[in-house]
Structure 1
């Protein structure tokens, strides 16, 4: 672990600049889903309890470097006060005289929210001058926004090099979970990668076949691999022009000792509709007018058996068209198996990605997984083996 946490810092009477992700949905000035706000509460409360003064840095939407009132963070103040249980003050800028005065006058037990960092076009350019202006406001920098750690921005990367820096509780939890899943995992390690297209996850697959023992491929991606093996998939979603690439991945996986798990049976329908007539067939018997919309029961049994023999599981993407019943069966069954193994202490399970979180929540399995990342792009880039600038800056 090459980065510090809040426990390593003397926070008493220190102004702590905390980079957070509070990019929450807002309708008519009201927060409709406060999940991201709730996830930063432990960091803010721990800083307050240690005598520190939290000053929140955040972006909101994509204002493109322009001041847009509908993207002002001021509208989040009521929701933040409810979550933190303390007074939240607001500065109409994240740098400059007003922000400096607000930071100087901040009292113990209060929180200061700074205006949208992306009102400055320099933010997304990782401008050192903007970072220096932000650094003027605090004594310590704390990054609690893993979801923004894959971006080298002034508030995520440059500023971390100007102040004593550490990870917040949410960032700490993400990094510890990811370290346990791929950094130094208990083996055997199994990865589930689903979704529509191989082309969007080439780097991910290329990284995983050298790091995991088993790779379960599902969704439309699996159809492309079936095509690569000379199997006809009818009208199914498949990137037929990626068949050679899929073949290469299969060959490289065999060379590295990674076991690829593809569907052995399939759920087929003629229409992409909920509750449309469907049938279960062997994977090599898809009719010309059929679409593969889910993995079949034999495939689920094989996946479940793979999970049972594993110690660590990483999951990104559904196994079928989970948004349509009954083509959510394979995803739900596999997720519940992983949850049961995790609950009994046999498996460390880490999952992330938008569709993944939605699918695991729908199955009722999410609360039993070891860790569910809501970071989206940052989680995917970590799985691809890429360096995340916001994390690397903390490590220095």
Structure 2
């Protein structure tokens, strides 16, 4: 990695500003955190700064989307402070402000690795616009900046790209790990490299498919997006999800990916989106009045065969509607196949595929689960990520 990491900078006696990703899922009714994985992933960087003499560790994060006063109330970052305190085994001071004397005073009086969590960065309208004044102001509160929010590095926001424009900066352990795994998998993989892409829309993954068809040895496609490809091949798809404006693009990928692009050969279909419909196996054609909701048993066997011998696998996107038990078999089968690949570097690219791996109990059977869905996708596309570009070079 040609960017400075946390071990390349002196933090003794410094006020260290850290961009973390505490955009945690919460229960809609109670507001309680339902999965603390993103907080857990930030602990190594926070603990290192405390243990290595930082004067203050000041944490910046967003939580949800904030466009209205109702959003503000719903996405108050105060919910994270007690959970972080418990995991860290140390008091975390929550400051209910994003600028002004209360925040400035809290940071000024902090000492001996005191941890401060700043209110939701998106309370500031200039955050997502990368307002230069806001980035400069936040930078004025500290001495050094550490980028450890991989889930946000694909966004040029004030807290990801604005602050490091004014301070010495480095990558935290999480960002360093993400770059090491995903960067190596795309740029210098141990081959054969197999990419598995799922999810609903082709449009979300056009750049990824394009790039991976160049760099991967095989690209397996499942999920709702496969029906756009099925239509491009002349199959009937019933009421299945399809992006008609992307059919020509799918034809182009099929032509370019001959011998490399692997598509499903059957589906689990239903006449309803739910568990109470007429559920049946369909071949390559989906009957009228039905929609495909998972890959079928023949596709599962095909995908398993194509994965044999793989030494690097990147997976982004489930094979079907895995949240509903009748349509989870394809995603479970991919989890099992990856768990049983000998000496293979298996990388789960965040988002729904990460949620599936964790929900289905395979988290400890894969090499790496990315904390950033959008960021990992853009990294796989070969894009420059603003939050990483902003980190100082070695």
Alignment TM-score > 0.5, same fold:
yes
Match of 1:158 in 2: 162
1:106-255 to structure 2, matched below 5 A, reads 106-254=110-258
Does residue 363 (structure 1) correspond to residue 370 (structure 2)? The answer is no
- Of residues 18-27 and 161-170 in structure 1, the stretch that sits farther from structure 2 once superposed is 18-27
Alignment correspondent of 1:59: 62
Say which is worse superposed, 184-193 or 271-280, in terms of deviation.
271-280
Q: CA deviation at 1:372?
A: 0.9
Shift, 1:240, TM fit: 4.0
Deviations 1:25-64 (A, max 9, x none): 3765654433322221111111111111311112233334
Asked if the contact 1:196–1:237 (Cα under 8 Å) also holds between the matched residues in 2, the reply is yes
1:350–1:369: 8 Å Cα contact kept in structure 2? yes
Task: Give, in angstroms, the shift of residue 294 of structure 1.
Answer: 2.3
4+ long deviations beyond 6 Å:
none
Which is worse superposed, 107-116 or 209-218? 107-116
State the Cα deviation string for residues 257-282 of structure 1 (Å, max 9, x = none).
x6011112333333333275544343
Shift of 1:235: 3.2
Asked whether the equivalents of residues 65 and 122 of structure 1 are also in contact (C-alpha less than 8 Å), the reply is no
CA contact (8 A) 1:228 1:244 kept: yes
* CA shift in 2, pair 1:291/1:391, >3 Å: same
- On the 8 A contact 1:91/1:98 being kept in 2, the answer is yes
CA–CA distance in structure 2, aligned partners of residues 338 and 69 of structure 1: 41
Residue 304 (1) aligns with residue 304 (2)? yes
TM-aligned CA deviation for residue 152 of structure 1: 0.8
Q: Classify 1:69/1:228 alpha carbon distance in 2 versus 1 (closer, same or farther; 3 Å).
A: closer
Secondary structure, aligned partner of 1:200 = helix
Which deviates more, 141-150 or 297-306? 297-306
Structure 1 residues 123 and 197, CA, compared in 2 at 3 Å: closer, same or farther?
closer
- Map 1:27-46 onto structure 2 (within 5 A): 30-46=32-48
Q: Which moved more, 1:308-317 or 1:119-128?
A: 119-128
Mapped to 2, the partners of 1:86 and 1:287 lie a distance apart of 59
Is the contact made by 1:65 and 1:120 (CA closer than 8 Å) also made in structure 2? no
Residue aligning to 2:391: 394
- The alignment partner of 2:372 has SS state of coil
2: CA distance, partners of 1:251 / 1:136: 54
* CA–CA distance in structure 2, aligned partners of residues 225 and 292 of structure 1: 13
Q: Deviations over 1:102-143 (max 9, x none)?
A: 222111142122233222222222122222221222111001
Shift of 1:287: 3.2
3-state SS of paired residue (2:340): helix
Structure 1: runs of 5 or more not aligned: none
| Whole-angstrom CA distance in 1 between matches of 2:188 and 2:391 | 20
Contact 2:168 2:392 in 1 (8 A): no
Tell me how large the CA RMSD over aligned residues is. 2.4
Match of 2:271 in 1: 270
Structure 1 residues 30 and 199: CA distance shift in structure 2, 3 A = closer
Aligned to 1:373: 370
Aligned residues: 389
What is the CA–CA distance in structure 2 between the aligned matches of 1:276 and 1:68, rounded to whole Å?
Answer: 40
